[in-house]
Amino acid sequence: MLTVTSPPSSPPRVSPPTATQPPESKAAETGVWMGIATISMSFAALTSAMVVRQSGAPDWQHFQLPPILYFNTLILLMSSLTLESARRRITAAAGQVGSLVPPVQRLAELYLTLTLGLLFVMGQVVAWRQLAAQGLFLATSPSSAFFYLFTALHGLHLLGGLVGLLYVLHRLRQATGPVPRTALGAATLYWHFMDVLWVYLLALLTIRV
Amino acid sequence: MGKLFAIVLTIITVVSTAIFVMRVWWLPADVSAHGPWIDHQLVETMVAAGVLFVLSQLALALFVWKSGDRREGRKITVFPGGAVPIVVLAIVLVGAEILALTFVGSKVWASIYQTPPDPNSLQIDVQAEQFAFYFRYPGPDGRFGSSHPELINEATENYFGLDPANDTTARDDIVVPTLTIPVNRPILLTLHAKDVNHAFYVPELRIQQDFVPGLVIPLHFTATETGKHEIVCTQLCGLGHYNMRAYVEVMRQDQFDQWLKGKAAQQ
Amino acid sequence: MHDTAAPAVVHHHAPPQGFLRKHVFSLDHKVIGKQYLDLALVAVCTGMVLSWLMRLHLAWPTQPIPGLEKLSPNGAAGGLITPEYYLSLMTMHGTIMVFFVLTTAPFAGFGNYFLPIQVGAQDMAFPRINMTSFWLTFVAFLVLIASFFIHDGPALSGWTAYAPLSAVGKDAGPGQGLGQTLWAVSIAIFCIAQLLGSLNFIATTLDLRTKGMSLARMPFSTWSWFITAVIGLIAFAVLMPACILLILDRVAGTSFFIPAGLVISDRLQPHAGGSPLLWQHLFWFFGHPEVYIAILPGFGIVSHILPVFARKPLLGPRVLIGCLIGIAFLSYTVWGHHMFVSGMNPFSAVLFSVPTLVITIPAAIVTMLWIGTIYGAKLRFTTPALFCLGFVSVFVSGGISGFLLAQPSIDTYLHATYFVVGHFHFVMGVAAMFGIFAATYFWLPKMFGRMMNETLGKWHFWLTFIGVYCVFMPMHYLGLAGNVRRYAEFTDDYLKPLIPLHRFITIAALFTGAAQLIFLFNLIRSRFRGPKAPDNPWEATSLEWSTTSPPPLDNFGGRPPVVHRGPNEYGVQGPAGDYVMQAAPEPAAR
């Protein structure tokens, strides 16, 4: 998914003026894959903690998940689409002759992704408020505890992803320098993982809580 | 320098092994029914491990001694066969040892922890708390009263939170700070923790088991000799951990019956 | 693995200006590595002092320790250590040593410094994340140490922090208030720092190797750092959420680990439904791989250094690497052997016992490969070589006792006795430390451009080698006699006769501790005034020896090396002697 290929119709690549630039390290991508592994492991540990906790004592209180969560999910999935589209466009444009930095309007989809991401986080906060209004707080019952824990941790990691996107945006807006394809690819990969993780968490919470 | 290393290492190996072999410090005499199996397993493993220990250290010492040889023209040689014999030796030797130990060891373990207790067992309830053990006998009615944590009261010595006013089965329960048991009779302890993790360890009886708050854990054994031994706590439970102990008194069956009758009369 | 086409470039940072940028907030992996090592040095001195206080108290509990009252008026009024203070000292000793010494020095310290150089890179893959990792570790250390200065004292639930003792808060007694919360916060921060560090190690190893440096040609130390980073990636990822759950139980009123009906200090605790065993499972799922994180770099370092002084290749290099990977993999399957009598299902005990015994096979192979390398060698008995030989011996000593502890039926007797304490001190407190010593004597010339004093080094080795056997071998005897661990004093009838042996251990520990002053003196003096070191004082083959001592900012002076062979070419005719360096050019014609 992340291999950089020019769309077939583009003209043959000509070396940009800075011909001695060595290829960009793919370390950022490796780093994100390792991050995915470790974050998955953390959430796996918490999942097993939840399973143990639920089966170990009779005090699990099921409750209805606030419906706004599903709306938030749609927002997040949309943001992945916009980000993926942005990534492909920017990467393709970077492969074309004479265009090291894409024009500003190509970044619009990136801005849209950021907005959607922020909307998601705000939506999560609304969900928390709705739960609190029902009297369900962190310590109220183990089910609510895990709900807040999972959503808060996911939200924190997502904010990290937002920071990553901001960094990529910052690099893209610089007038000089090559397109940071690896950084963009890495940030996108992380973002998609946040999606997958959220869908998993939503399913887990829907079934168990 | 190489010779010095070899000599020092050899001395260390010989001295430490000798102390093990001579049992200068050793397990106390076993007074339990299952203890001989554990002791047997322990000695077998020590012999096997000890042989590996001595061989490895002496091989290291020998090779270091020889490698210090500075004669001119001595060629560096490779271990005969290279790495392959080592791999084969390790897998076969260590592997065989592991299989043997596991096979026999799991039987010993199963006999202690995975067999159901004898239906004739004398049942005793044990409560561990910061920093004491208490033991409860069911009394003449043969039934334990239910325990209620909110009723626990150290001042009135209601360690188990019994409710004799409303609970008839609790009225004749006998609570004592010493574990008194008859010899050669299967004992079934049920372990409760009042506050944090504790553990029950009697070296002479070769038993050790954690108490876990929220769980009721069975522990069964049979004492084969009369005597008095210390029960010590082995799971860190706070500042009094080092001082948390009780005694187990193993008496003849007739002495035990008399003791129990005496206690029941006091209730 | 195929050769990388051309050296990939890390985001090139301009040479740093100013004192802060050069020495404090540096992005240079070499500076960061040294910072980690300095932190570990402070930590190990602290940890050692704590152990001396513990040993003095155990041997002579009624004897006041001069000066201690000033340092700790609450914990040691009149110079006498209270039982709770003893437990706090023990908790901090274990926590500091395991995390801030054994995970920091061999892995974060030496690994940060030498991994990029050994693979031929200019720096780690993510220099800013690298710097962040160090400063997070530093903050974690400060948070932990801060608990010494609060009124109720540091946590006292051991480095293992079992719940509910660690989870219920100050009702459970002194040290279990703020001290325990600070412990959990410190460790959580440490986890994040380690995870970031693992990312760096793995990305650098996979993506920044220089031309010709295939994975198979990497030095053994690099392999061990790489594998350790992978272990850490998974292990610390479990400890982090565990610490979060613990903190929530303590401050937010949740009940992950605290069941109902607990009466502590006459108060019925307002918790319900939690599982103390859950903490144990989560902790040990991290905790067992953690001890391999502590020892694996030592394996790599010894495998790297031994051939240099044996002047012959390591026996079975691929077998070694296979064993390291096997050990790493198996390390995740054994955690229940810490919990045989914990109240978990007895059937699981057998399930955990089998892989615990199986893991001895790769460990035995690795040990035999080292011994087999020494066979027929022409050893140069330098200090680093001596510590490698000592490592093999103490690792055997520590590993052999594992045969007994791995079996649940035997563990029934030996669990929580000094037998266990002797076992883990040999493998962690001694073997891993010997690995750190070997690495220091070996690499200090490269890191500071100065040689350490050999005479002092040898004295350090001999006093330490004999000393550690005097300290830790007797603990096995104590364990066989049933001597329970984590006791502040020995007041039981059956333990009192063992006190003379404890006094012997204490005296040996103080002497061995004093011997470390030789090392400290040698270290500090050599750093500033040792004789100048050449580029390759040991005639070794790996890439760090192809560059200057110390290396320039980008490690290779603008000329990334090209590698033509593995690191094991000793005892062969080469241009400079009986070895061929990894970066030496190919011969023109065969």
Quick one: pLDDT at residue B104?
87
Quick one: pLDDT at residue A53?
92
The one-letter code for the residue type at C76 is A
Nearest CA in chain C to A54: C273
Does the structure show a pLDDT above 70 at A38? yes
Which residue out of B87, B220, B229 would a mutagenesis test of the C interface target, given it has the greatest number of C Cβ atoms within 10 Å? Answer: B87
Does the structure show a pLDDT above 90 at C265? no
Residues in C closer than 8 angstroms to A37, CB to CB, are 233-234
**Cβ-proximal residues to A91 (8 Å cutoff; 6+ apart), any chain:** A4, A179, A181, A184, A185
CA C142, C143, C145, C150 torsion: positive or negative?
positive
Which residue out of C133, C201, C256 would a mutagenesis test of the A interface target, given it has the greatest number of A Cβ atoms within 10 Å? Answer: C256
Residue listed under structure tokens 């391999």: C292
Q: What are C512-540's pLDDT values in tens digits?
A: 999 999 999 999 999 999 999 999 999 99
**Cβ-proximal residues to C521 (8 Å cutoff; 6+ apart), any chain:** C456
Mean pLDDT calculated for residue range C542-567 = 94
Q: What are A162-181's pLDDT values in tens digits?
A: 999 999 998 888 766 677 88
Give CA–CA dist C502/C345, Å, rounded: 36
Which residue out of A33, A39, A41, A189 would a mutagenesis test of the C interface target, given it has the greatest number of C Cβ atoms within 10 Å? Answer: A41
Interface A-C, measured as beta-carbon pairs within 8 A, has a size of 121
Residue listed under structure tokens 């209730």: B267
Mean pLDDT calculated for residue range C241-261 = 95
Quick one: pLDDT at residue A11?
45
Residue listed under structure tokens 């260390």: B12
Nearest CA in chain C to B83: C316
Return the ∠ at Cα A76 (arms to A75 and A81), rounded to 5°. Answer: 95
Quick one: pLDDT at residue A26?
85
Taking an 8 Å Cβ-Cβ cutoff, which residues of chain C contact chain A?
Answer: 5-10, 125-126, 129, 195, 198-200, 202-204, 206-208, 233-234, 236-238, 240-242, 244-245, 248, 252-256, 259-260, 272-275, 278, 281-282, 285
Taking an 8 Å Cβ-Cβ cutoff, which residues of chain A contact chain C?
Answer: 21-28, 30-31, 34-35, 37-39, 41-42, 45-46, 49, 52-53, 56-60, 138-139, 142, 145, 149, 153
Q: For chain B, how big is the Rg over CA atoms in Å?
A: 26
Nearest CA in chain C to A53: C274
Nearest CA in chain B to C311: B76
- C444 class by beta-carbon count within 10 Å (0-12 exposed, 13-18 middle, 19+ buried): buried
CB contact under 8 A, C83 and B239: yes
Mean pLDDT calculated for residue range A111-129 = 96
pLDDT above 90 as % of chain C:
86
Quick one: pLDDT at residue A103?
61
CB contact under 8 A, B86 and C360: no
CB contact under 8 A, C255 and A25: no
Nearest CA in chain A to C195: A38
Out of C173, C360, C458, name the one closest to residue B98 (CB).
Answer: C360
Query: What's the predicted TM-score (pTM) here?
Result: 0.94
> Which tokens hold the place of A66?
């606030």
Q: Which of B145-149, C286-290, C294-298, C318-322 has the lowest mean pLDDT?
A: B145-149
In CATH, the architecture of B122-266 is Sandwich (2.60)
b/e sequence C368-393, b meaning 16+ C-beta within 10 Å: bbbbbbbbbbbbbbbbbbbbbbbbbb
Q: What are B58-116's pLDDT values in tens digits?
A: 999 999 999 987 777 778 888 888 899 999 988 998 888 888 888 888 888 988 888 89
The alpha carbon of residue B265 is apart from the nearest alpha carbon of chain C, in Å, by: 30
C312 touches chain B (CB under 8 A): yes
Q: What are B189-244's pLDDT values in tens digits?
A: 999 999 999 999 999 999 999 999 999 999 999 999 999 999 999 999 999 999 99
Does the structure show a pLDDT above 70 at A5? no
Nearest CA in chain A to C237: A42
Quick one: pLDDT at residue A95?
64
Out of C347, C364, C481, name the one closest to residue B26 (CB).
Answer: C481
- C433 class by beta-carbon count within 10 Å (0-12 exposed, 13-18 middle, 19+ buried): buried
Which residue out of B24, B56, B115 would a mutagenesis test of the C interface target, given it has the greatest number of C Cβ atoms within 10 Å? Answer: B56
The alpha carbon of residue B109 is apart from the nearest alpha carbon of chain C, in Å, by: 5
Which residue out of C29, C133, C254, C344 would a mutagenesis test of the A interface target, given it has the greatest number of A Cβ atoms within 10 Å? Answer: C254
Does the structure show a pLDDT above 70 at A2? no
Out of A25, A38, A53, name the one closest to residue C208 (CB).
Answer: A25
Q: What are C138-178's pLDDT values in tens digits?
A: 999 999 999 999 988 999 999 999 999 999 988 888 888 99
Out of A22, A24, A34, name the one closest to residue C202 (CB).
Answer: A34
Nearest CA in chain C to B9: C393
B59 touches chain C (CB under 8 A): yes
Q: pLDDT-derived band of residue C9, with 50, 70 and 90 as boundaries?
A: very low
**Cβ-proximal residues to C76 (8 Å cutoff; 6+ apart), any chain:** C65, C68, C69, C82, C85
**Residue extents of the structural domains in chain B:** 2-68+80-113, 122-266
CB contact under 8 A, C498 and B25: yes
* A14 or C339, higher pLDDT: C339
* C2 or A183, higher pLDDT: A183
CB contact under 8 A, C273 and A57: yes
* C9 or C534, higher pLDDT: C534
CB contact under 8 A, A38 and C282: no
**Cβ-proximal residues to C191 (8 Å cutoff; 6+ apart), any chain:** C236, C237, C239, C240, C243
Does the structure show a pLDDT above 90 at B257? yes
- A48 class by beta-carbon count within 10 Å (0-12 exposed, 13-18 middle, 19+ buried): middle
Task: Check: CB of residue A188 under 8 Å from CB of residue A83.
Answer: yes
Give CA–CA dist A129/A151, Å, rounded: 13
CB contact under 8 A, C469 and B12: yes
Does the structure show a pLDDT above 80 at A21? no
Q: pLDDT-derived band of residue A14, with 50, 70 and 90 as boundaries?
A: very low
Residues in C closer than 8 angstroms to A180, CB to CB, are none
CB contact under 8 A, A31 and C5: no
Fold of C35-546: Cytochrome C Oxidase; Chain A (1.20.210)
Nearest CA in chain C to B114: C346
Q: Which of B257-266, C414-423, C464-473 has the lowest mean pLDDT?
A: B257-266
**Residue extents of the structural domains in chain C:** 35-546
The alpha carbon of residue B252 is apart from the nearest alpha carbon of chain C, in Å, by: 24
Q: pLDDT-derived band of residue C2, with 50, 70 and 90 as boundaries?
A: very low
Quick one: pLDDT at residue C4?
43
Give CA–CA dist C485/C166, Å, rounded: 18
Mean pLDDT calculated for residue range C76-100 = 95
ipTM for this prediction: 0.96
Compute the mean pLDDT over every residue in chain C, rounded to the nearest whole number: 94
Give residues 179 to 198 of B whose Cβ lies within 8 Å of C: 194-197
Residues in C closer than 8 angstroms to A34, CB to CB, are 198-199, 202-203, 233
Q: pLDDT-derived band of residue C73, with 50, 70 and 90 as boundaries?
A: confident
Which residue out of C407, C417, C466, C504 would a mutagenesis test of the B interface target, given it has the greatest number of B Cβ atoms within 10 Å? Answer: C407
Out of A21, A26, A45, name the one closest to residue C207 (CB).
Answer: A26
Q: What are C106-131's pLDDT values in tens digits?
A: 999 999 999 999 999 999 999 999 99
The alpha carbon of residue A124 is apart from the nearest alpha carbon of chain C, in Å, by: 20
Quick one: pLDDT at residue C5?
42
Quick one: pLDDT at residue C12?
55
Q: pLDDT-derived band of residue C496, with 50, 70 and 90 as boundaries?
A: very high
Nearest CA in chain C to B72: C378
Mean pLDDT calculated for residue range C23-42 = 96
Nearest CA in chain B to C380: B68
Q: What are B163-177's pLDDT values in tens digits?
A: 999 999 998 999 999
